[in-house]
Structure 1
Amino acid sequence: MKRLTLFSKAVFVLAMVVLSSCDDKLTELNENPNVVDPASANPNMLMPTVMSQAAKNYLDLGYGDIAGVVQHTQKDGWFSAHNSYDWSPRDWSSYYDLLRNNDFLYKRAVALDYKFHQGVALTMRAFLFGNITDMWGDAPYTDALKGDVSNDYVTPKYDSQEVIYKGIIEDLKAASTLFAAGDATGYRTGYDVYYNGDPAKWQKFANSLLLRYYMRLSGKLPDVAKAGIESIYSSGVYLKSASEDAVMDYIGSKQDDSWPGAVQWESDPSEYRRRKPAKLLMDKLLTNGDPRLKVWFAPVYVQWVADPTLATPVDQFIRKNGVIQTGTVSLTDAQFLTETKAGNKFTRHFNPNTFTVAVDTREYVGVPAGLIDPSSYNYNPTPGQVVQNQHVSQLAEVFRGSKGGLLKARLISAAEVSFILAEAAQKGWAAGDAKTHYEAGIKNSLETWGVADQFATYSQKEGVKFNNTQAQILEQKWIASWTAATEAWMDYRRTGLPTFQAGPASPENALPLRFIYGDNETNYNNANSISALSRLEENTHTKIRGKNSQWAKPWIVQGTGKPW
C-alpha cells in the first residue's frame, strides 16, 4: 500500500523535468520517450492489463487453494494450505496495484467522455473490491486509491464490509446504466479481452455481478437483496447462456500467460500431477452419473481388483492386461499415459479374505479431505512426489494444456446466475420459477463443459431431479463452480451448504472463513488494521491465531449462525 505506482512515479519524474527546465529558463520541454504522459494516455491500453490479471487472480483462487476448501480438489504434495487451510498472512497488494491502474483507466475515460470505458472501469473496480472484501473482510476502500507521498493516505483506513458491498452495488448500477446507452465510442478492437467492446454483453456482466452480490448480502440485508434481485430479474438483462459467460482465454506463449500447471513449462509435470480430485466431489459425480466426470477427471492408472483366488494378500507388482509385470511396482506418469492411450489396462489384485486394508476398487477415485498423508491414500505403494499415486485419479488430460478449448478463466457464468435466480425463487422472491432456473443452471454448466447433449438424461436422475430445496440448488451450484470455487466458498459461508467436513490434518475441525491480513498491513498500517481486527468475531476456532485468523467471522456472517 505504501509503494508508488508506475503512474505516480511517471508523474513525479515529469514534474522534476518541468522544474529543472524552469530553473534553466528553457522555453521547450523535451519529452522522455520512456515515460507515458498521463494527459495523453489511451484508456484502451490499460484495459487488457486490468482485465487479464483480474481474471488470472480469480482462476488461481478457484482452481487453487479455494478448490481445496470446498473439496473440488486435494493435493498430495505441498498440500497443507490446500487441504488443511494451514494458511499464513496473505498479501493483497496485487489487487490494489490493479485497482490503481483501473482508477487511471476510469479517470482517462471520464476526461475523454468514453462511456464504455467508464463502465468497464466501474465493473472491474466492483469485481476487484468484491474479491478483496470477500476474502479478507474489512479493507481500505474509500481512501484506498488516494495514496501518494504528498498526502496522508499512505496508511488508509479500513471500511466495513457493509460499506464496501454497498459501494460495489452502486458502481455496478452506474456501469449498467452506462452500458445501456450502447455507446462504445473510443474503443479499439482487441483491447477488451472479455467481450471485444460489446456494451450489451458488458451490461449483462455487470447485472450478473449485481445478482451475485445481492445474494451475498441476503443473510445480512435481506430486503436489499430481495429488491435488487427482483429488479435485475424483471429487467431481463443478465447472463442466460454459456456463450455469454465472462471469460478470458489464455495466450499460452509463456508460463505466466498459460493455464496454471501447464506441463509445457515444466521438465517434470509435478504441479499438474499433485492436484487430485477430492473424494466428496468425485463420489457425488459417480453417484449421479454426471457427464462432467470424464471431462474433468481421468481413470486411475492402476485399478484394484478383488481376487479371492490370489495366493498372497496383495500383488507386489502391477499387472498389464492381467499379466504380472515382475519387478515393476509402478510406471511414471508419462509411461502410464502412453500405455493407456495404446489401450493397455493396468490392475493390482488383492485377496479380500486375507488383505485387511480397505481399498477403493472403482475406476475413478478421489482423495478424502485433509488427510495427514494424502500421497499414501488407497494403499499407494509409492508415496511421496517421485511418481503419481497410481490408485487415485488425476485431472483429465485437458488440464495439462497451456491454452485453448476448455481452459478459460471464468469470472461469472450463466450457470451461476441461473442458480442464484433459482435460490431467489425458492425463497419466494419474484424471480420466476425455481425449477426452470435450476434446470437452466445445470444445462448451462453442461454446455460449458461440452456435454449439453446429456442434459435430458442427467436432469432426471435420482438426486438431480428438482426437489425444490435450497440444499439441492446449492449442491448443483457447487458442482458447476468447478475452477471457480470461490463462489462455492462464499455460498457455504452464508448458508452452511453443502455440509463440508474438515479433514483430520486441519488445525480446526471447521472450514475457514477468510484470509489472514498480510504482514505489510499489520506492520505498516497497524492502527487501521488493528481497528479492522477489532470488528472480527472470535469463536472456538480462533484460539490459536486470535482475531487475525482464517476462522474469525467477518461482518457478512456475524449474527447469522452460519456456517457453523
Structure 2
Amino acid sequence: MKNKFIKIFCIAIVGAITLTSCDKGFEDMNTNPNALTDPAVKSMFTLAEIYVDGQDFSNTRGNNIYAAQIVQQFSSLSGAGSKYTYSSEYSGALFGESYGKGLNQIFQLLSVVKDTPENSNMIQACRIMKVFMFQKLTDTYGDVPYFEAAKGYNGNVFAPKYDTQEAIYNDLLKELDEAGDALDASKAFVGNADLYYQSDIPQWKKLANSLMLRVAMRLSKVNPAKAKQYVEKAFAKGVFASNDDSLVLQHDAGPQGVKTNPITSSWVRNDLFGGEANTKFSKTFIDQLKNNNDPRLRIYAKLEATGDNNPANQQGLANDAKEFPGGDKKLFSDPNTSTVLRLDAPTLIMSYAEVEFILAEAAVKGWNVGASAQKHYEDGVKAAMQVLTIFGDKVPAVSLAEYNTYMTAHPFKATGTEAQKIEQIITQKWIVLLFNGFEAFSEYRRTGYPVLVPVNDPLGETKGTIPRRLIYDQSELITNAVNYKEAISRQGLDLMTTRIWWDKQ
C-alpha cells in the first residue's frame, strides 16, 4: 500500500491559529470574533481532515456505545446501544461535536479562504469533507440544519432551520458531482498538509466518486431511480480500484489529543482494565467469524488478560446479557490491542472493500457497474481481508490461500434470490465496517442485514424494537427551540423508533 499515512503535524500551531470555538451550539459555532487577517489555511485544512471522522467525544459515545452496540458489533452489560436505553449526553454527542468542531472548522476555513483559482482545490476538498460529516449527521438523526448551518459567519443566523433529509441528500449528491469535476491537477493544493492523499488530485476525485456511491445507494428504497442514476454516474467517473485508494488516517500513540485515534486511545486508556472491561465484542460478531472460520478473527480479537488471539478461544457477550456467563469477564473477547486497538492504530474512514460491496449490490439490482455481482463481491471480501495489513505485522496477515479457502467454503450465492445475495453482501460490509458503527447502523436500517435478534430490556426505550435513529442533542430545545419543534412536527416524534426519510419498510 502506497505511503499516504504521514504523521499528523502542526497541531500546536493549529490550535494557536484557528478560532477557539469547540463548543456545541450554533451561536458558539458560527461566531467569528477573531477574524484572522493572515490565517494559516493549510494548518486549518489539516485540522478539518482530522475532524471529519469525529473525535473522542462522539466516537466513544455515539459510535461505540450506541451505534456499534445497536448493530451488535459490540456489547455491554449496561450499554445504551445494547439495551436501547436513552442517554441525552451519548445520543446527542455526534450532533454537538459535528457542528461544534468538524463542520465549524470547515465553515471557518471557507469563510477566510478567497475563492481564487489557487484555492480552488482546497475549496472542493472542503465540500467533499462536508458531505462526509453531513451524511453521518442526517443518517443518525434525520432532518438537521444544513443550508443555514454556516450562516453565522456571513449572515448572523444563529438559530438555523432544519432541512428535510430529502433536500439534504439532493444537495450532497450535487456537491460531490460538482466538487469532483472541479478538482484540477494543474492547480495548487496544500502539499503535505493534506493528510489523506498528499494533494494527489486523481485520488481525491476517486474519493468524491466513491462517496457518491455511498450517498446514492442510501436512496435505494426511497428513490431507486435516483440511486441507480448516481451509482452508475459515480462508477463511470472512477471510484476506488484497490486498497491503495482507501481513505486511511494515520495517528500517533500520544500524547492524547487530536493526534491520537479517537476510538482506540480512550478505549485503551479508560475501558479495557486488563480484560475486566464491561464492553466486549458481541456474541453476534464473534459467532459470525468463528462459525465461518473467518481468518480475520485472529486480527480483530483477543482475550486482553492473557493476550490469546486463538480464534477457537474467542467468545462474545450477548447483547441482552445481564451478567457475564460464568462471572469471568476475562474470558470474553476484546478488540486486539496488538492490531486494531493499538494506541496509534489508523482509522479506516472509507475502504475499497466497501466500494466493492456497494457495486456488488448494484450489480444484483441489474445496474451498470462493469462486472457481475459475484466478481465485485469476491473482490470486496479479498480487499476487506487484505486491508487489515494497515494495522501492522504483529499478527499474521490473511494469506491468499486463507482467502481462497474461505471463498470455497462460502461462495457467492449466484443462483440465490436477490434478498439472499444482498444479505450476503451486507453481512460482509458489516464486518469491514467494524469501528464505523454509524455507517453500519445506517446500512442495517436500509437493508435489514445482517439479521439481528432484538433486545427487549425492561429499561429500554423501544419495547424490543431495534432503534431507527438517535435522539437530537437536547440543547436544541434551548438554543434552537422553534426550528427543533418544526422539524419533529414534520419528521415525527424525537424518539429512537421514528423512521427517517430514506428508512422505508
> TM class by shorter-chain length?
0.7 to 0.9
- Answering whether residue 342 of structure 2 is matched by residue 401 of structure 1, we say yes
Q: Which residue of 2 aligns with 1:95?
A: 98
- Which of 223, 226, 229 in structure 1 is aligned with 2:225? 223
Residues 131 and 137 of structure 1, relative CA distance in 2, 3 Å threshold: same
- Answering whether residue 347 of structure 2 is matched by residue 427 of structure 1, we say no
Asked if the contact 1:84/1:502 (under 8 Å) is kept, the reply is no
The CA distance in 2 between the partners of 1:74 and 1:193, in whole Å, is: 33
Residues 394 and 2 of structure 1, relative CA distance in 2, 3 Å threshold: closer
Q: Which residue of 2 aligns with 1:447?
A: 386
The CA distance in 2 between the partners of 1:124 and 1:216, in whole Å, is: 18
Q: What 5-or-longer segments of structure 2 have no aligned partner? A: 1-24, 390-397
The CA distance in 2 between the partners of 1:265 and 1:69, in whole Å, is: 22
Residues 284 and 156 of structure 1, relative CA distance in 2, 3 Å threshold: same
Q: Which residue of 1 aligns with 2:84?
A: 85
Deviations 1:99-138 (A, max 9, x none): 2321232344443432210111110111111111111110
Q: Which residue of 2 aligns with 1:316?
A: none
TM-score (normalised: structure 2): 0.83
The CA distance in 2 between the partners of 1:427 and 1:128, in whole Å, is: 28
Q: 1:5 offset after TM fit, Å? A: 4.4
- Which of 358, 364, 377 in structure 1 is aligned with 2:324? 377
- Answering whether residue 425 of structure 2 is matched by residue 485 of structure 1, we say no
- Answering whether residue 34 of structure 2 is matched by residue 10 of structure 1, we say yes
SS at match of 2:147: coil
Q: Which residue of 1 aligns with 2:481?
A: 526
Larger radius of gyration: 1
The CA distance in 2 between the partners of 1:210 and 1:73, in whole Å, is: 28
TM-score (normalised: structure 1): 0.74
Asked if the contact 1:458/1:464 (under 8 Å) is kept, the reply is no
Residues 400 and 443 of structure 1, relative CA distance in 2, 3 Å threshold: closer
The CA distance in 2 between the partners of 1:175 and 1:251, in whole Å, is: 31
Q: 1:412 offset after TM fit, Å? A: 1.1
Deviations 1:147-182 (A, max 9, x none): 26x966111111000011111111111111122x21
Tell me which amino acid in the other structure corresponds to 1:391: L
Q: Which residue of 2 aligns with 1:246?
A: 247
- Answering whether residue 129 of structure 2 is matched by residue 129 of structure 1, we say no
SS at match of 2:348: strand
- Which of 156, 164, 171 in structure 2 is aligned with 1:167? 171
Q: Which residue of 2 aligns with 1:51?
A: 49
Tell me which amino acid in the other structure corresponds to 2:186: D
The CA distance in 2 between the partners of 1:458 and 1:172, in whole Å, is: 36
Q: Which residue of 1 aligns with 2:394?
A: none
What does 1:280-291 correspond to in 2, within 5 Å?
280-291=284-295
Q: Which residue of 1 aligns with 2:350?
A: 412
Residues 459 and 268 of structure 1, relative CA distance in 2, 3 Å threshold: closer
Residues 73 and 172 of structure 1, relative CA distance in 2, 3 Å threshold: same
Once the two structures are overlaid, the 10-residue window that deviates more, 390-399 or 548-557, is 390-399
Deviations 1:50-72 (A, max 9, x none): 11022244865554531111111
The CA distance in 2 between the partners of 1:424 and 1:153, in whole Å, is: 41
The CA distance in 1 between the partners of 2:188 and 2:314, in whole Å, is: 52
SS at match of 1:276: strand
Deviations 1:195-229 (A, max 9, x none): 11111111111111100010001111111110111
Asked if the contact 2:360/2:377 (under 8 Å) is kept, the reply is yes
Q: 1:395 offset after TM fit, Å? A: 2.2
Asked if the contact 1:59/1:409 (under 8 Å) is kept, the reply is no
Residues 525 and 271 of structure 1, relative CA distance in 2, 3 Å threshold: farther
Q: What 5-or-longer segments of structure 1 have no aligned partner? A: 12-35, 302-332, 346-360, 383-388, 538-546
SS at match of 2:106: helix
Tell me which amino acid in the other structure corresponds to 1:480: V
Asked if the contact 2:209/2:235 (under 8 Å) is kept, the reply is no
Deviations 1:485-525 (A, max 9, x none): 32221111112122212224244212111121112112221
Asked if the contact 1:378/1:392 (under 8 Å) is kept, the reply is no
SS at match of 1:247: strand
Asked if the contact 1:205/1:238 (under 8 Å) is kept, the reply is yes
Tell me which amino acid in the other structure corresponds to 2:449: L
The CA distance in 1 between the partners of 2:44 and 2:159, in whole Å, is: 26
Residues 466 and 66 of structure 1, relative CA distance in 2, 3 Å threshold: farther
Tell me which amino acid in the other structure corresponds to 2:96: S
The CA distance in 1 between the partners of 2:70 and 2:267, in whole Å, is: 27
Deviations 1:312-332 (A, max 9, x none): xxxxxxxxxxxxxxxxxxxxx
Asked if the contact 1:47/1:105 (under 8 Å) is kept, the reply is yes
Asked if the contact 1:123/1:175 (under 8 Å) is kept, the reply is yes
Aligned CA RMSD, in angstroms, stands at 2.6
Q: 1:435 offset after TM fit, Å? A: 0.6
Once the two structures are overlaid, the 10-residue window that deviates more, 446-455 or 136-145, is 446-455
Q: 1:264 offset after TM fit, Å? A: 10
Higher helix share: 2
Residues 441 and 466 of structure 1, relative CA distance in 2, 3 Å threshold: farther
Q: Which residue of 2 aligns with 1:306?
A: none
Asked if the contact 2:70/2:466 (under 8 Å) is kept, the reply is yes
Residues 510 and 218 of structure 1, relative CA distance in 2, 3 Å threshold: same
Q: 1:278 offset after TM fit, Å? A: 0.8
Residues 452 and 245 of structure 1, relative CA distance in 2, 3 Å threshold: farther
SS at match of 1:8: coil
What does 1:261-410 correspond to in 2, within 5 Å?
261-262=264-265, 266=269, 269-270=272-273, 273-298=277-302, 333=305, 336-337=306-307, 363-371=313-321, 373=322, 376-380=323-327, 382=328, 389-398=329-338, 399-403=340-344, 407-410=345-348
Deviations 1:380-414 (A, max 9, x none): 2x5xxxxxx133222223255210xxx22222111
The CA distance in 2 between the partners of 1:463 and 1:270, in whole Å, is: 40
Residues 520 and 433 of structure 1, relative CA distance in 2, 3 Å threshold: same
- Answering whether residue 112 of structure 2 is matched by residue 105 of structure 1, we say no
The CA distance in 1 between the partners of 2:498 and 2:313, in whole Å, is: 40
Q: Which residue of 2 aligns with 1:496?
A: 448
Asked if the contact 1:184/1:197 (under 8 Å) is kept, the reply is no
- Answering whether residue 109 of structure 2 is matched by residue 142 of structure 1, we say no
Q: Which residue of 1 aligns with 2:180?
A: 176
Q: Which residue of 2 aligns with 1:116?
A: 121
The CA distance in 2 between the partners of 1:278 and 1:447, in whole Å, is: 23
Asked if the contact 2:145/2:160 (under 8 Å) is kept, the reply is yes
The CA distance in 2 between the partners of 1:270 and 1:280, in whole Å, is: 23
SS at match of 1:74: strand
Deviations 1:332-373 (A, max 9, x none): x3xx45xx69xxx9xxxxxxxxxxxxxxx96221111132x2
SS at match of 1:365: coil
Q: How many residues align?
A: 451
Q: Which residue of 2 aligns with 1:321?
A: none
Residues 265 and 288 of structure 1, relative CA distance in 2, 3 Å threshold: closer
Tell me which amino acid in the other structure corresponds to 1:551: T
Q: 1:10 offset after TM fit, Å? A: 0.8
Residues 205 and 142 of structure 1, relative CA distance in 2, 3 Å threshold: same
Asked if the contact 1:275/1:395 (under 8 Å) is kept, the reply is no
